[in-house]
């Protein structure tokens, strides 16, 4: 339905006009000639359309670094990556490894002695 001279253009029509998907009807042209509100809406919507068309395509953007991508996928899956352990938290693990190695070497030495 064409707008009355003092009815504003429908928002969908403003978007279609900004996208150049359609041309303004005679009534819309008359209204745009008289209404600063609709001209402002059309101008600002057309500016957004221009920005969108000038923006780089998503498939043309460079890929993120692997660690960033890994962090993104983990956060999407709900398992946020654990922060790297601090050196202080590593000490008990290193001590446990050394004790295990010493016990393993001691056991091997014991078996080697008994096997003779």
Residues that bind Zn ion (CB under 5 A): 8, 35, 37-38
Question: Are 37 and 8 contacting, i.e. CB atoms less than 8 angstroms apart?
Answer: yes
Q: Which is nearer to Zn ion, 26 or 60 (CB)?
A: 26
CB 1 within 8 A of CB 10: no
Residue identified by tokens 């008990």 is 92
If the CB atoms of residues 39 and 49 are measured against Zn ion, the closer one turns out to be 39
What minimum distance in Å lies between the beta carbon of 37 and Zn ion?
Answer: 5
To the nearest 10 degrees (0 to 180), the angle between helices 26-34 and 36-54 is 110
Give me the least distance between CB of 9 and Zn ion, in Å please: 6
CB of 41 to Zn ion, least distance (A): 8
């Amino acid at each position: 339905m064409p707008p009355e001279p003092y009815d504003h253009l429908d928002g969908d029509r403003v978007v279609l006009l900004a996208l150049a998907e359609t041309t303004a009807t005679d009534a819309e042209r008359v209204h745009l000639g008289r209404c600063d509100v609709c001209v402002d809406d059309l101008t600002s919507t057309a500016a957004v359309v221009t920005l969108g068309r000038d923006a780089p395509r998503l498939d043309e953007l460079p890929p993120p670094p692997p660690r960033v991508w890994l962090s993104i996928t983990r956060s999407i899956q709900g398992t946020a990556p654990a922060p790297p352990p601090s050196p202080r938290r590593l000490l008990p693990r290193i001590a446990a490894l050394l004790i295990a190695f010493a016990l393993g070497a001691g056991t091997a030495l014991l078996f080697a002695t008994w096997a003779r």
